[in-house]
Amino acid sequence: MIASNRRATHEYSIGEVFEAGMVLTGTEVKSARTGKVNLSDGWVTISDAGEAFLQNTHISRYSHGSYMNHEESRPRKLLLKRKELNKLAEKTQEKGLTIVPLKMYFHGQYVKIEIGVAKGKKLHDKRESAKSKEADRDISRAMKHNRR
C-alpha cells in the first residue's frame, strides 16, 4: 500500500467503495513508489463530460526528476467503468454525500485508488466512534492478558 486516508474514516461514514485506475506521469509513479503521497485533503469530482477527477491530492516531486517533473497537486483523471461513473454521479447529486479517496496502492504495475461515497459525521458521531474504538481496544487487551 502506498498511502491511506485515515482521516476519511474519522470524518466521514463510508458507504459504497469503488476501485479506480489513475492516469499518472512517470515521475508521479516513481514518487508514489517512495511513498510520498498525501490523500487526506483530496476529493473526487465528476465533470460534465462524465469523467472523474481526483482533486487536491499531493504527490511530492520526484527527487531525481529533471525540469519535466510533475505538478504536485494537479487534478488526476480516474479510470472507471461507465456504469460506475453514472452511479457516482447520481450519488453526488444527493445532499450531504461526497466522494473521498481511501487508499492508494499498486496492483501489479498499475497504481489503483480506492474511493468511497461518504457522508460527513457530526461531532457526537465522532465521539461515539472513538468510544467504541477504545472499548474494543480495552477488550482486546484484556483478552490478551487473560491468555497469558
Residue 73 vs residue 107, higher pLDDT: 107
Burial 16-35 (b: 16+ CB within 10 A, else e): eebebebebbebbbbbbeee
Q: What are phi and psi of 58, to 5 degrees?
A: -95, 120
Query: Does 135 map to a domain?
Result: no
> How does pLDDT run across 75-104, given as a tens digit for each residue?
999 999 999 999 999 988 888 899 999 999
What does the block give as the cell for 140?
482486546
Query: Does 66 map to a domain?
Result: yes
Containing domain of residue 63, as a range?
3-122
For residue 44, the 8-state DSSP code is E
In this prediction the pTM is 0.80
Q: CB of 5 within 8 A of CB of 40?
A: yes
Query: Does 74 map to a domain?
Result: yes
Query: Does 88 map to a domain?
Result: yes
Query: Does 148 map to a domain?
Result: no
Residue 68 has pLDDT above 90, yes or no: no
Q: What is the pLDDT of residue 120?
A: 86
CA distance to 41, 66, 114, 135, per residue, from 138 (Å) = 31, 51, 30, 5
Query: Does 145 map to a domain?
Result: no
Query: Does 114 map to a domain?
Result: yes
- Angstrom distance (rounded) from CA 58 to CA 75: 10
Q: How many domains does the chain have?
A: 1
Query: Does 133 map to a domain?
Result: no
**91, exposed or middle or buried, with CB in 10 Å at 0-12, 13-18, 19+?**
middle
CATH number at residue 79: 2.40.280.10
What does the block give as the cell for 24?
499518472
